[in-house]
Amino acid sequence: MIFKELKLINFRQFKGENKFVFPINDRKITLIIARNGVGKTTFLQAFRFCFYGESPNVLKLPKSEELLNYSVENDMSEMDEQPLSVQVKFQHNGKDYIAVRTVRFRMFNRKMQKLTKNSDDSFELWEETENRGAIKVEDGLKRIQEMIPTGLAHVYMFDGERVEKPIGSTEFKNDLKDSIVGVLGLKKLEQARDFLGNKSKSGSVIGQVHAKLVPIGSTEQEVLDRYASAEENITQLKQEIVIRQNQVESLTKDIEVATEAQKSIEKLELLVQVKKIAESKISAQEREIEELRRRANDCAVELLLKLEVAKTYKKYEKFIAKEEEQTEVFENLYQSVVEDILRRHKCICGREVHTGSIEAEHLRELSVLPQDNANYLNALRSLYNSLANLPSLRKSITKYHNQLVLAKKKLEELRKEGEHAIEKVIKKEEEIGAKNQVDIEHLRATKARILYNIDINEKSIESNQRVVNELSSELKKIQFNSQHNRNVNASLKMLNQLKLEIEEELDNKKNIARESIEKNMNLVLTEVMDQHYEVELDSEYKLTVYKKVDDKRLQDETEVLSTGQNVMMYLSFLKALLMTVEQHAEFDDIQSSGVIMDAALSNLDEEHIKQISSRILNSFDQLIFLSFKAQLRNELITGIHNNISCAYELSKDMMGNVVSRIIDTNNVEEYVNEDDEINE
């Protein structure tokens, strides 16, 4: 779209009719020069008002509800009517058009009434022909959207003073795809693809043609319904898979970023390992102390027992001495011995034992004792003999006591080391936080869940595909049972082939566009930016701006770009679009486009302005450049002077209305560099 003329009637500061002509010749730039507050923004927004109406998403004006010129409004009497009109003449695809938006107002009870209620009714589009004059275009709003979609408003009618959609804003991200698709003519391919549709979309061409197939009976209808349902399910499932695959791609990138950040906690993991080792040593030392205590207690119990035994040692010595004095010594007292004594009436010690005596009764009682008493006597002898190791037991207890003291001291040291390790872990966790790992695990879990759902979808597709395959032979019989169905199928085959070709062309152009725009924009940025910036354009046309920090590291700057940097990015993006169109034969059918720009370049340094002038501003097919004098001086006017076809100066009269005059292009540079006492 190349702009030829703008006519404003009673539009805000522009009272009455104001006409601006944009010559089409070898020089591509028209200058609109005015101080701030005089009408530059209104001039730019007039184009948007004409094409898109009063939508606040597009029309960016202070007090946008006050469209009618205030002087005209003040002059109106009761019931007077006045028009507000913006007319744009332009050329598109070799044809001349006139776009007009007119709104009528009436003064009623000293209040302004808008007579044109419906915004659509206020717009008309006319095509200028040689033989028949101007012919009104039916559905003009739709045609304008095809020529310059709403998403391109901020691209081709660029308000750099406000940078209403910074690179990092959601609005820019949402509109960027529409911009690229619109500029490169991909929108038509998308519309053609959607217009053709598929069998499951009854309103599409293919859907309507498919509906012409005539089933023969209820059984055949059931086959057709099952087949259509299975195909529709497959289509929906494939769409879900595409959406989920995009989610997986996004999550994969997020996981990579988070994993990179996770490397910063490796030191924490080492500290945690040191803590675990310290805790393990403490546990081992505690077990060792417990074992020493057990052994010491066993020794103490044994010592206490033997000390008690030692108290009866003198009695034991007397017993042994008495045993040695006996003439008949025995160690084993059996029942046969007792019986022998009772029969002989004489004890082995020499005493007389009479029948019925007390001694005889005692002997009879002894006969019920265990037959072998030597074990008890030997045990008693061993017990008293063991008293000899009392000094050894005392030494063992002393040894265990000393070992326990040392072990407890070592345990205290280990606990201090453990506490120190725990403090280091806590401190490190406070420094880097423990959330990274949790976030990564959450991302991985989410990704795994989505992959699982994709797997389920793929299995469902296989299941539905089996139904399609099973019914395909029956379907073919039904569809080919009549000449009518054969004709319909021939049409469907042709339409599906056409759709396939459109989809292939669309995918091919999208890939070329994305790769080429990214490459060209990075090339432009190296030429116009003093610092090294790179951009990345993903498959969904999301633009990310990186700043090179060092040889290996790039830092995401998308959300923190300054106003000047946003302007540079916008201009670089526009230049990259133009380069892409010029470089690829796939976009040969794309027409030239004019750019209207109110760019905030005054806060850029001389070198940046010089590079922008020579490498970007002069490269547009048409540029209507709005600026104040001071911004144009020096490097900027020098860089574009030889490409200026026309220049207008805007100023205000005594009533505050904008008036314009043409500046001789031969004197523009001199005019721009004149001293101006009034602050611009």
Segment 642-657, tens digit of pLDDT: 999 999 999 999 999 9
Q: Which residue has the higher pLDDT, 530 or 586?
A: 530
pLDDT digits (tens, 9 = 90+) for 323-376: 555 434 344 445 677 777 888 888 777 778 788 887 777 777 666 555 455 566
2-192+511-672 falls under which CATH superfamily? P-loop containing nucleotide triphosphate hydrolases (3.40.50.300)
Tell me how far apart the alpha carbons of residues 411 and 601 are, in angstroms, rounded to a whole number.
Answer: 72
Give the SS3 label for residue 79: coil
Q: Band of the pLDDT at 237, cuts 50, 70, 90?
A: very high
Question: Contacts by 89-94 with C-beta closer than 8 Å and gap 24+?
Answer: 89/3, 89/4, 89/5, 89/6, 89/7, 90/1, 90/2, 90/3, 90/4, 90/594, 91/1, 91/2, 91/4, 91/24, 92/1, 92/2, 92/147, 92/591, 93/591, 94/591
Main-chain phi, psi angles of 112, to 5 degrees: -85, 125
Specify the range with the lowest mean pLDDT, choosing from 83-92, 157-166, 255-264, 347-356: 157-166
Q: What are phi and psi of 626, to 5 degrees?
A: -100, 130
Q: Which of 181-190, 205-214, 280-289, 493-502 has the lowest mean pLDDT?
A: 181-190
Instruction: For residue 33, give the H/E element and its range.
Output: strand 29-33
The two tokens of residue 536 are: 């990345």
Q: CA 511 to CA 116: how far, in whole Å? A: 45
Q: Which of 327, 371, 368 is nearest to 349 (CA)?
A: 327
Report the helix count and the strand count for the chain, using DSSP H and E: 21, 16
pLDDT of residue 329: 38
pLDDT band at 483, cuts 50/70/90?
confident
Residue 404 tokens read as 């326990």
- 149-153, 363-367, 601-605 — which is least confidently predicted? 363-367
Confidence of residue 307 (pLDDT cuts 50, 70, 90): confident
Q: What is the token pair recorded at 150?
A: 């709403």
Which of 69-73, 172-176, 604-608 reaches the highest mean pLDDT? 69-73
User: What does pLDDT average to over the chain?
Assistant: 83
Res. 586 pLDDT band, cuts 50 70 90: low
Task: Give yes or no for residue 624 having a pLDDT over 90.
Answer: yes
pLDDT at 183 over 60: yes
Is 531 buried (19+), middle (13-18) or exposed (0-12) by CB count in 10 A? Answer: exposed
Q: What's the pLDDT score for residue 609?
A: 81
Q: Per-residue pLDDT averaged across 426-438, rounded?
A: 64
Nearest by Cα to 528 from 472, 463, 459, 575: 575
Q: Is there a contact between 145 and 116 (Cβ–Cβ < 8 Å)?
A: no
* pLDDT tens sequence across 559-581: 888 777 777 888 888 888 878 87
What is the secondary structure of 185-197 as a DSSP string?
Answer: THHHHHHHHHHH-
- For the chain, give the percent of residues with pLDDT over 90: 29
Cα 209 to Cα 226: distance, rounded to the nearest angstrom: 19
Q: What does the domain layout of the chain look like in residue ranges?
A: 2-192+511-672, 217-329+385-477, 333-371
Residue 344: what pLDDT? 83
pLDDT value for 363: 73
**HSE toward the beta carbon, residue 630, CA cutoff 13 A:** 11
DSSP structure string for 201-248: -TTSHHHHHHTT----SHHHHHHHHHHHHHHHHHHHHHHHHHHHHHHH
The pLDDT value recorded for residue 326 is: 47
User: Each residue of 250-306: pLDDT tens digit?
Assistant: 888 888 877 776 766 677 778 888 889 988 989 998 899 999 889 889 888 888 887
Q: Which residues contact 613 (CB under 8 A, 6 or more apart)?
A: 635, 636, 638, 639, 640
Report the alpha-carbon angle 245-185-203, nearest 5.
65
CATH code for the part of the protein at 217-329+385-477:
1.10.287
Long-range contacts of 419-422 (CB under 8 A, 24+ apart): 421/271, 421/274, 421/275, 421/278, 422/275
* The pLDDT value given to residue 433: 58
For Cα atoms 495, 497, 503, give the angle at the middle one, nearest 5 degrees: 100
In this predicted structure, what is the pLDDT of residue 332? 45
Whether 608 contacts 599, CB under 8 Å? no
The arrangement of strands across the sheet holding 644-652 comes to 157-159, 594-598, 622-627, 29-33, 644-652, 658-663
Q: What is the DSSP letter of 263?
A: G
Locate 490 and state its tokens. 């021939």
**Residue entry with tokens 């702009």:** 3
Q: Percentages helix, strand, coil for the chain, rounded to the nearest 5?
A: 60, 15, 25
User: Residue for token digits 């012919």?
Assistant: 135
